[in-house]
Amino acid sequence: MTSSVFRADLLASRVAFVTGGSSGINKGIARRFIEHGAKVVIVARDPTRLEAARSELDALAPGHVLAISADVRDGAAMEAAATNGRQAFGPYDIVIAGAAGNFLGPAEKLSSNAFAAVIDIDLKGTFHTFKSCHPHLAPAARLIAISAPQAQLPMALQAHVCAAKAGIEALVRTLAVEWGGVTGPRVNALSPGLVAGTYGAEIFLKMVGESALVGAQPIPRLVSLDEVADAVLFLAGPSGDYITGHTLAIDGGIGLPTVAGNAITAAAQRALAASGR
């Protein structure tokens, strides 16, 4: 087992549905769920990568993983995936809407199709995932969308991603209200910083280097997959039962409004130094 701060049987007899589960953050989350006893339906578009992930995860606990190839942009395909997964493993205790797309592009050059590609995968995909799983939820199920600091933090060349992630956080808050109730689902988002070893982090690292990426954060390092998975377990386990409509940031503080804050801090530090205190 990878290092976990939670007890080994935390998710025994639980069922999870994870989109984007064939790679990166979402495969890491699926792995952690299986390590803690859950059965997991992983959903992804590319059948070859999906089968590779299924076989890797199945080796941890044979029979605990089901792979379904579907595109989160296709509402009907997601409804079929949610139905088939429930028939195999039972109602969902946890749903992770994690499938995402990202690339850098100047806003004035993004085609309508390019903007739509990311909105459709991230935002519409999250809606399809939660809506499709809604009829198949166990009581007090945990719906968790994977957001990003871009939801709050404007980042140049990522207008499409910032808009999609902001929409996801608004959707999460809305569904938390609309689907509330003692036995209704708890609907939250997780906002991780750059996760070491993932595709997204690797392309940015190659392009600009680590210090440009995380050097200005209060905690100036990348986040590990284990840390992200622990944060998800906190929301997915009994500890998350009274939390809804929230975005949990595990981002080293990058989401703090540091542009204005740094200027004010620097001015205050200069004034303090000048006063001799």
Query: By the criterion CB under 6 A, which residues form the site for ligand COA?
Result: 100-103, 105, 111, 113-114, 117-118, 199-200
Q: What residues contact residue 185 under an 8 Å CB cut-off, 6+ apart?
A: 95, 134, 137, 140, 141, 142, 143, 175, 179
CB of 158 to ligand COA, least distance (A): 11
Separation CA 73–CA 50 (nearest Å): 17
CB of 199 to ligand COA, least distance (A): 5
Separation CA 64–CA 38 (nearest Å): 7
Partners of 224 in the β-ladder: none
For the record, the structure tokens of 273 come out as 């130094």
CA distances for 122 relative to 26, 116, 163, 190, angstroms: 13, 10, 10, 14
In the complex with ligand COA, the residue whose CB is nearer, 37 or 200, is: 200
Is the distance from CB of 122 to CB of 165 less than 8 angstroms? yes
In the complex with ligand COA, the residue whose CB is nearer, 91 or 105, is: 105
In the complex with ligand COA, the residue whose CB is nearer, 164 or 231, is: 164
Burial class (CB in 10 A: 0-12, 13-18, 19+), 157: middle
In the complex with ligand COA, the residue whose CB is nearer, 6 or 103, is: 103
DSSP state of 52: H
In the complex with ligand COA, the residue whose CB is nearer, 115 or 234, is: 115
Q: What residues contact residue 173 under an 8 Å CB cut-off, 6+ apart?
A: 187, 245
CB of 110 to ligand COA, least distance (A): 7
CB of 95 to ligand COA, least distance (A): 19
In the complex with ligand COA, the residue whose CB is nearer, 118 or 190, is: 118
Q: What are phi and psi of 187, to 5 degrees?
A: -120, 115
CB of 217 to ligand COA, least distance (A): 19
CB of 113 to ligand COA, least distance (A): 4
In the complex with ligand COA, the residue whose CB is nearer, 244 or 247, is: 247
